[in-house]
């Protein structure tokens, strides 16, 4: 059911695009060919000019980093992705309807509007943006090598990784893609904003699994289209902000099933029809009609393309030195949700993007021959000259 | 730019009754991937100007046509020839893919 924008996260962390038809692989003869892989000798010069910085990502972290780096005259190159991880450039905000908590917008604005503004600002500051997805990086070489899905190869002295995170799914029978009862994209989705308005959900009972702000937002969004929305949360108290909780609970079409989980998704073989709710305290189950089931249970950081070259924490987030955006590789910085499992807000991501760009300056200064300190000798010479000039005026 | 918007009311006239093959882009304003594929569709419209017609239809505003053609995910691109749907591409695809799909239906 997804706008082929939903990602299937396989057990090994590999992602593929969702959708009824798999996205066909791009034709390689159209891809720019700058491949040096086959040559026996290493190239003496890289095929494209070496950038000071390449930014991989397209959300608030990436764009804030780009703005700062551009203003520091680093001429940043950004890869915003062509539906990287199945999400449009702009990232998670593109699947958010109203953003009411990003400072500076008292009336709120839509996620896509906000990302459009970020993008316009980056470009105005001097960022070059390429709408391609980075498929791999090589951090064993200097300068770092960045390869894109369509065969492009680029080099940079430093990288800012701001690839964000993708919506997580739960392993519930009936919500997968294979087997006799497999309703992923046939009623099961991880993006209510992407899919909720589809005709098949109109005036039908829907359900959202989750208890945070995203679950509340998705429930409110779905309530516009469905006949009812059941929020299924495993705890007996929602995690969402008070404002969002109040709003959702006040809605006549929304009800919350606390301390509950979805044990199974069932249907007629081609479309989802019911879900089995389980009371997590008593173990009792009840089956209820449901034509749309949406996951709102958190995110998985997008780090597969790094091929393990940067140290990740136990949950797959890029590990950064505390209070910085520095990763295990010198010259590689990580900003936004890809390295933040705690705050995960647009504004905190923007803040870390700024940090990354500023740390980049420090890093660039230590690279190569550029000395960090200014020579000290110049000052005393100037002072003496000034004194000599002044001395005659004192009538010496 | 030769891409016009069609509606529930104008679909039959513009798409079904068209002598040329028609590429229809089903989209909605809140759909991120639709925005990504929109410039690709615009480019295709220019390059194939003489051989196909390209139109876009907002599924929020035109639910009848969207339901009639069973649109379940967007973007969905459909190719019509002589009033019949001959191909469907679901999801945002690169230009090269769209072009090679279209080439199958151009005489």
Q: Does B93 touch chain A (CB under 8 A)?
A: yes
**Who among B59, B67, B92 is closest to A83 (CB)?**
B92
User: Which A-chain residues 5-24 have CB contacts (< 8 A) with chain B?
Assistant: 5, 17, 19-21, 23-24
Q: Does B19 touch chain A (CB under 8 A)?
A: no
Cβ count near A42 (within 10 Å): 7
> Which H helix or E strand runs over A193?
helix A192-195
Give residue-wise pLDDT tens across range B7-41: 999 999 999 999 999 999 999 887 888 989 999 99
**Who among B30, B71, B91 is closest to A17 (CB)?**
B91
**Who among A24, A88, A194 is closest to B97 (CB)?**
A24
* Per annotation, catalytic residue among B15, B24, B34, B71: B34
Query: Residue A142 in contact with residue A152, Cβ under 8 Å?
Result: no
How far off is chain A from B27, nearest CA to CA, in Å?
10
**Who among B33, B97, B100 is closest to A3 (CB)?**
B33
Which of A1, A5, A188, A201 is the mutation pick for testing B, counting most B CBs within 10 A? A5
Strand partners, A205: A228
Taking the C-alpha atoms of residue A152 and residue A146, their distance in angstroms, rounded to an integer, is 8
* C-alpha count within 13 angstroms, C-beta hemisphere, residue A117: 11
Question: What local confidence, expressed as pLDDT, does residue A77 receive?
Answer: 98
Q: What is the ipTM of this complex?
A: 0.75
Question: What local confidence, expressed as pLDDT, does residue A14 receive?
Answer: 37
Q: Looking at the predicted structure, is the pLDDT value of residue B65 above 60? A: yes
> Which H helix or E strand runs over A46?
none
Averaged pLDDT for residues B54-83: 90
What sign does the CA torsion over A77, B93, B43, B64 have?
Answer: negative
Taking the C-alpha atoms of residue A305 and residue A163, their distance in angstroms, rounded to an integer, is 10
Question: What local confidence, expressed as pLDDT, does residue A37 receive?
Answer: 52
Strand partners, A279: A260
Query: Residue A158 in contact with residue A173, Cβ under 8 Å?
Result: no
Which of A81, A198, A217, A272 is the mutation pick for testing B, counting most B CBs within 10 A? A198
Q: Which residues does chain B have within 8 Å of residue A89's beta carbon, measured at their own beta carbons?
A: 32, 36
User: Which A-chain residues 320-359 have CB contacts (< 8 A) with chain B?
Assistant: none
Contact A19 B90 (CB under 8 A): yes
Cβ count near A140 (within 10 Å): 9
Q: Does B68 touch chain A (CB under 8 A)?
A: no
Taking the C-alpha atoms of residue A371 and residue A375, their distance in angstroms, rounded to an integer, is 9
Taking the C-alpha atoms of residue A289 and residue A151, their distance in angstroms, rounded to an integer, is 47
Question: What local confidence, expressed as pLDDT, does residue A85 receive?
Answer: 86
10-residue stretch averages of pLDDT, chain A, 396 residues long:
38 37 44 49 62 98 98 97 90 86 94 96 97 96 95 96 94 86 86 80 95 93 95 96 96 97 93 95 96 93 97 95 97 97 92 98 81 46 42 40
Query: Residue A285 in contact with residue A263, Cβ under 8 Å?
Result: yes
Question: What local confidence, expressed as pLDDT, does residue A246 receive?
Answer: 96
> Which H helix or E strand runs over B21?
none
Number of Cβ pairs closer than 8 Å across A and B? 95
Question: What local confidence, expressed as pLDDT, does residue B73 receive?
Answer: 77
Question: What local confidence, expressed as pLDDT, does residue A150 receive?
Answer: 87
pLDDT bucket at B90, cuts 50 / 70 / 90:
confident
Question: What local confidence, expressed as pLDDT, does residue A193 receive?
Answer: 78
Where do the domains of chain B lie, and which CATH numbers do they carry?
A: 4-103 (3.40.30.10)
């Amino acid at each position: 059911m997804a706008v082929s924008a939903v990602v299937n996260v396989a057990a090994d962390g590999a992602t593929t695009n969702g959708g009824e038809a798999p996205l066909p692989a791009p034709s390689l003869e159209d891809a720019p060919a700058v491949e040096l892989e086959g040559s026996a000798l290493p190239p003496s010069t890289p095929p494209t000019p070496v950038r000071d910085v390449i930014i991989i990502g397209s959300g608030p972290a990436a764009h804030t980093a780009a703005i700062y780096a551009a203003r520091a005259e680093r001429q940043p190159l950004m890869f915003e992705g062509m539906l990287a991880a199945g999400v449009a450039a702009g990232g998670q905000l593109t699947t958010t309807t109203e953003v009411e908590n990003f400072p500076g917008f008292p009336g709120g604005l839509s996620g896509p509007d906000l990302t459009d503004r970020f993008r316009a600002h980056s470009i105005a500051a001097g960022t070059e943006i390429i709408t391609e997805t980075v498929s791999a990086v090589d951090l064993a070489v200097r300068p770092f090598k960045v390869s894109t899905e369509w065969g492009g190869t680029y080099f940079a002295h430093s990288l800012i990784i701001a690839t964000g995170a993708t919506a997580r799914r739960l392993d519930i029978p009936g919500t997968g893609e294979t087997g006799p009862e497999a309703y992923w994209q046939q009623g099961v989705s991880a993006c209510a904003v992407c899919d909720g308005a589809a005709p098949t959900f109109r005036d039908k009972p829907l359900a959202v699994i989750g208890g945070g702000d995203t679950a509340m937002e998705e429930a409110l969004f779905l309530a516009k289209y469905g006949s009812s929305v059941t929020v299924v949360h495993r705890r007996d108290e929602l995690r969402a902000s008070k404002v969002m909780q109040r709003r959702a609970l006040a809605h006549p079409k929304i009800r919350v099933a606390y301390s509950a989980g979805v044990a199974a998704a069932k249907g007629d073989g081609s479309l989802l029809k019911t879900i089995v709710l389980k009371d997590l305290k008593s173990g009792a189950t009840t089956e209820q009609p449901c034509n749309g089931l949406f996951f709102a249970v958190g995110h998985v950081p997008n780090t597969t393309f790094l091929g393990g070259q940067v140290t990740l924490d136990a949950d797959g987030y890029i590990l950064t030195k505390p209070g910085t955006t520095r990763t295990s590789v010198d010259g590689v910085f990580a900003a936004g949700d890809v390295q933040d499992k705690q705050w995960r807000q647009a504004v905190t991501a923007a803040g870390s993007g700024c940090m990354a760009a500023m740390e980049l300056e420090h890093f660039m200064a230590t690279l190569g021959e550029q000395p960090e300190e200014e020579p000290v000798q110049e000052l005393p010479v100037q002072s003496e000259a000034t004194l000599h000039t002044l001395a005659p005026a004192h009538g010496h | 730019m030769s891409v016009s918007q069609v509606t529930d009311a104008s679909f039959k006239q513009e798409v079904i009754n068209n002598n040329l093959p028609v590429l229809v882009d089903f989209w909605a304003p809140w759909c991120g991937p639709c925005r990504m594929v929109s410039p690709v569709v615009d480019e295709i419209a220019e390059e194939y100007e003489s051989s196909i017609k390209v139109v876009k239809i907002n599924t929020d505003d035109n639910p009848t046509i969207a339901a009639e053609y069973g649109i379940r995910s967007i973007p969905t691109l459909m190719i019509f020839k002589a009033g019949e749907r001959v191909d469907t591409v679901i999801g945002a695809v690169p230009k090269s893919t769209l072009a090679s799909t279209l080439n199958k239906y151009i005489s």
